[in-house]
Amino acid sequence: SSLAGLPCVFVRFTYCNLRCTYCDTAYAFYEGRDCTVDEIISEIKEYDCKLVEITGGEPLVQREECLELMRKLCHLNYQVMIETGGSLPINGIDPRVKVIMDLKCPSSGMMKKNMYDNIYFLKPIDEVKFVIGTREDYDWAKEIIKQYDLSSRCTILFSPVFGQIEPSEIVHWILEDNLPVRFQLQMHKYIWHPETKGV
């Protein structure tokens, strides 16, 4: 999210209903362990950190448990974010939660799964992320931003597919088009080895 760089506790839910071509967390499809919401909160409390991101996989596959966890964390005065692939409904998420929602670009192979009605549930604090792997992805994202007037709804993030496209290419296109988006890198892949978990 735009809060990248701040210390943050990640809660990674198991399973995903998508199979993006560039997925870097395929282990989340099946790995993990059963925990109650209260057990997860107890583990979170062990960290001296009030920023929590719920991610996956796709956390909204486990919808009721996910919504309950986020609601309870908000009641405990945590700053809560959820990262979702945009293929499942985001309505019903506690309004205190920052939603970071992907819109899947053509090269993901999952564009047909985008649930565009979600756009109408976005709040000003939320963010829409486009993961860009090709010029086609960039042009498609640019058209979606215009079609849905996304820049007036929330923050827009552009992120390159790691190892597939030079970040400088996307930056050049953004500047050339004066596009109102925030460019970002997957910071952890530059600090640690790209395959490292739990960092």
- Answer for the pair 74, 96: CB distance below 8 angstroms, yes or no: yes
59, part of any domain: yes
Categorize the per-residue pLDDT at 189 as very low, low, confident or very high, splitting at 50, 70 and 90.
low
- The DSSP result for 31-89, as a single string, is ------HHHHHHHHHTSS--EEEEESS-GGGGHHHHHHHHHHHHHTT-EEEEEE-SSS-
Residue pLDDT, tens place only, 129-162: 999 999 999 999 999 999 999 999 999 999 999 8
Domain count, the chain: 1
Beta-bridge partner residues of 79: 51
The answer to whether residue 140 sits within a structural domain is yes
Q: What is the pLDDT of residues 19-76, one digit of tens each?
A: 999 988 788 788 889 999 999 999 999 999 999 999 999 999 999 999 999 999 999 9
| pLDDT per residue as tens digits for the range 95-141 | 999 999 999 999 999 999 999 999 999 999 999 999 999 999 999 99
Q: What is the CATH number of the domain that holds 88?
A: 3.20.20.70
Range of the domain at 55: 9-191
φ, ψ dihedrals at 23, nearest 5°: -50, 130
Q: Decide if 28 is inside a domain.
A: yes
Residue 85 maps to a domain: yes
User: For residue 149, is it within any domain?
Assistant: yes
Residue 4 belongs to a domain: no
Residue 198 is assigned to a structural domain of this protein: no
